[in-house]
Amino acid sequence: MEKNKNYYEILGVSEDATLKEIKDKYKSLQTEWDPKKNTGKKEGKKWHDIKMAYETLSDKEKRMEYDKQLNEVVEGEIVEEKKEETKEKVVEPELKAYFFPRVVAYIIDAFLISAVASFIFAFFPQVNNLLKLNEEQVAIQESFIQQEITQEQYLAQSLDLSYDMAYQNVVYVLIEVSLALGYFVVFQYKNGGRTLGKKLMHIKVVSATGEELTVNSFLYRALLLQSLAIDVLLIGGVFLLKGQAYGAYELGFSLFQTIFVLTTLGMVLFRKDGRGLHDLLGGTKVVMDGSKERELCVN
């Protein structure tokens, strides 16, 4: 049997064709391809294949041997196809991102956003006002330490000062929120779940369910992890509340943020999948990103 040649297909008969059907088909092909019967034809590869096919299939013993070989070839092709399908279906295992790379990546990204926001904010007049308010805050703390004012007076003055500082800081917060949305949502989405910090630490954000991530997935993460939701609520409080009322309002959110951070750190450390509250909200998880990590996971 010649490699990659199906004699049944060459003759144009089925694999269960009778000897009579094979002979009849051969005769009809002779008329078209045999140079002795068709003077317009020359001895060619096509006629050579037809003769080889007829010689094999018209002989009982040769046909039995050929059928055996043909079945082995077909079975081999099926096995190879299944192997290829299996290769295509194999999904590289994902290794949960370690705690240290996640923390370092977060610090890098937060520093980048803060640095750019501070640079832009430096061109606004509110910067000088904040410097003066900071000096007042230091003076109030010193007065309290030296017992020049009571605890009640210190708390009241601190809450009033907190409102004044928040009011002057609105522009900075708006800049920071805008940068965070662009960086942690749009940029990270476009870069396959990677920020600059995550690229440096070889980690990335992926879907926890295997579905394709959407912009909303990164938005939900940023609202909690980057405290964008709290920032927006605090800005609203600046315009709705005054003085000590706002100070108490801000203090409440600071307490909530502390609880959230501690809870998330605990979940990232101790949950098997390393998912924090922000991951649960966004339907995401953070995994190692790199060939070395994938090899480690496989082994």
- How does DSSP assign 23-59, residue by residue? HHHHHHHHHHH-TTT-TT----HHHHHHHHHHHHHTS
| pTM of the shown model | 0.62
pLDDT tens track for 184-210: 999 999 999 999 999 999 999 999 988
Give residue 103's pLDDT: 92
Q: What CATH architecture applies to the domain 7-89?
A: Orthogonal Bundle (1.10)
Q: Burial of 130 by CB count in 10 Å (0-12 exposed, 13-18 middle, 19+ buried)?
A: middle
pLDDT tens track for 104-115: 999 999 999 999
Is the model's pLDDT at 291 over the cut of 70? Answer: no
Q: Find, among 28, 170, 207, 180, the residue nearest to 115 by Cα.
A: 180
pLDDT tens track for 60-96: 888 888 888 888 776 666 666 666 665 554 444 567 7
Look up residue 102 and give its two tokens: 């996640």
Q: What is the DSSP letter of 286?
A: E
Is the model's pLDDT at 176 over the cut of 70? Answer: yes
Over residues 47-55, the mean pLDDT reads 86
For residues 133 and 161, the answer to whether their CB atoms sit within 8 Å is yes
Which helix (DSSP H) or strand (DSSP E) does residue 199 occupy? helix 196-200
**Distance of alpha carbon 80 from alpha carbon 85, whole angstroms:** 9
